[in-house]
Amino acid sequence: MRQVDHFIVGGAGGGSGRKHQIWNPSTGEVQAEVALGDAALLDKAVATAMKVQPEWAATNPQKRARVMFKFKELIEANMQELAELLSSEHGKVIDDAKGDVQRGLEVIEFACGIPQALKGEYTQGAGPGIDVYSMRQPLGIGAGITPFNFPAMIPMWMFGMAIAAGNAFVLKPSERDPSVPIRLAELFLEAGAPEGLLQVVHGDKEMVDAILDHPDIPAISFVGSSDIAHYIYQRGAQNAKRVQAFGGAKNHGIVMPDADLDQVVNDLAGAAFGSAGERCMALPVVVPVGEDTAERLKEKLIPAIHALRVGVSTDPEAHYGPVVTPEHKARVEQWITTAEEEGAEIVIDGRGFSLQGHEKGFFIGPTLIDRVTPQMKSYQEEIFGPVLQIVRANDFEDAVRLPSEHQYGNGVAIFTRNGHAAREFASRVNVGMVGINVPIPVPVSYHSFGGWKRSGFGDIDQYGMEGLKFWTKHKKITQRWPDGGGDGSNAFVIPTMG
């Protein structure tokens, strides 16, 4: 059986000896094992990072950018390999896997401009003979704890910005699909990065706690569930660390009566069911405004959802593949059962779905649930599967209130032809990222990503200039150069060669 080890300098000896199974979600078989590390192994990685980081920080930004440019080229050259490896462990189809890699690559492209991004501010004559300027300097060692659903994109969101800014980085990816992060680290080394600048350690809560408690890791970035995000934020802050911790989501798609329903249905098919719904920016709740809108939308959704093709990750015709593990399949199907028990209407039921020839795979059919209310637990919590819920709103005020009062505040979208309604909604809704006729409003790499409420803990967002702020400390210098040659006179003397 294939073994996945840590990617640290000096070998991975001294780990816990424990291992975690890696499934092939399409076949339902265990395909590999990953070694789980402990605090002693983390100490080894951090010790190496501390040795290599000062020289990297002293390397001028232009040379650091050249490494990022080369890494970008290597990612592009190995796109197919990365996508196939990702699909084999996660289950998302190849096109989705390529999108995963591409969105991470866009942040690497932004990081290639680090010389410009690191330029500070300067004020001449802030006082009599006084100038003030500022600079951004690296923190030292950054750590990233990343989820299973984007094993390429989210690690690159984190280490791309951190390393370009002059830090070393220790990555702990999900133990469910760890091979792509290892391959990224190999390519980064091939791009010319010093050995030990980017290291990968695997583990479960034991490794997470070791990272949170390590005295030589000043900053931690996390993406995962909200309960764990809250735990990481609290424990990290108690240890005087800088922490950004992004959690779950329950994104709403508001459908106004004037919306183009054909376009809405097309958008929902991808946003709700793409990647089997295992995305924090999926659109699992649609909110039609008015009963007539709800009935017309439902009538169009049913045949569109029935037309979705579920297949193995390598099927080029499939719209989405299996979910990641058997436990996750059981959890999603239980949420459908919960919604049914709560009184919701199961319009299309994906439970018990079986793919011919792959009966042991972790497949769930696309599911549509109507008559969902805000009081239902299935609405309040994140399902994270190929399930679309319809929550009917009476009017525009209802539509603003639903996402605004939900415990999560990651993303929201409104579909309308009315510019005033869209502008009003975007201004008033209590959610961190808003799409207007855009179903998955993930900002481009030179902006930033981050939700509100229980979707995000910490004050600074991912990537873009916000990401640069997170991975650097801001130093301010106030300077005055007195006239004279040091003899107390006020004569202005220009030094000469002699």
- Give the tens place of pLDDT for each residue, 246-301: 999 999 999 999 999 999 999 999 999 999 999 999 999 999 999 999 999 999 99
Domain covering 2-247+455-478 assigned CATH 3.40.605.10 in the classification: yes
Token pair in block for residue 230 = 């809250």
Q: Residues 199-216: pLDDT tens digits? A: 999 999 999 999 999 999
Residues counted in the chain: 498
Cα 276 to Cα 351: distance, rounded to the nearest angstrom: 13
At residue 10, the pLDDT reads: 76
* Residue 493 binned pLDDT confidence (cut-offs 50, 70, 90): low
- Show the DSSP H helices in 121-178 as ranges: 153-164
Is 112 in the active site? no
CATH class of 252-436: alpha beta
CA pair distance 43, 37, nearest whole angstrom: 11
pLDDT band (50, 70, 90) for residue 238: very high
pLDDT in tens, 75-85: 999 999 999 99
Q: What local confidence, expressed as pLDDT, does residue 334 receive?
A: 98
Other C-beta atoms lying within 10 Å of the C-beta of residue 472: 21
Q: For residue 402, what are its two tokens?
A: 């639903």
Is residue 486 over pLDDT 90? no
Arithmetic mean of pLDDT, 405-420: 98
Residue type, position 189, single letter: L
Q: How confident is the model at residue 494 (pLDDT cuts 50, 70, 90)?
A: low
3-state secondary structure of 393: strand
Task: Using pLDDT thresholds of 50, 70 and 90, give the confidence band for residue 303.
Answer: very high
Domain boundary assignment for the chain: 2-247+455-478, 252-436
The answer, yes or no, to whether residue 58 has pLDDT greater than 70, is yes
Alpha-carbon span 437 to 199, nearest angstrom: 40
Element (H, E) at 173: none
The set of residues, in sequence order, having a beta carbon less than 8 Å from that of 239 and lying 6+ positions away, is 212, 213, 215
Residues in Cβ contact with 276 at an 8 Å cutoff, skipping those fewer than 6 apart = 91, 92, 320, 321, 322, 323, 364, 385, 386
Confidence grade of residue 110 (pLDDT, cut at 50, 70, 90): very high
Going by the DSSP 8-state scheme, the letter that residue 207 receives in this structure is H
The answer to whether 154 and 147 have CB atoms below 8 angstroms apart is yes
DSSP state letter for 275? G
Residue 485 has pLDDT above 60, yes or no: no
Residue 421, token pair as written in the block: 């309604």
Residue with tokens 């939700």: 451
DSSP structure string for 291-336 = HHHHHHHHHHHHHHHHTPPB--TT-TT-SB---S-HHHHHHHHHHH
Taking CA 68 as the corner, what is the angle to CA 64 and CA 110, rounded to the nearest 5 degrees? 105
Specify the pLDDT at position 483: 78
Q: What is the pLDDT of residue 17?
A: 86
Residue 154, classified by CB atoms within 10 Å of its CB into exposed (0-12), middle (13-18) or buried (19+), is buried
- Residues 369/388, Cβ–Cβ less than 8 Å: yes
Distance CA 268, CA 387 (A): 11
What is the rounded (10 degree) CA torsion for 74, 315, 148, 409?
A: 110
Task: Name the active-site residue from 118, 197, 280, 294.
Answer: 280
Three-state SS at 73: helix
The residue-averaged pLDDT of 32-46 equals 96
DSSP-assigned beta bridge partners for residue 348: 368
298 HSE (CA, 13 A, CB side): 21
Per-chain mean pLDDT for the chain? 95
Tell me if 230 sits within 8 A of 153, measured CB to CB: no
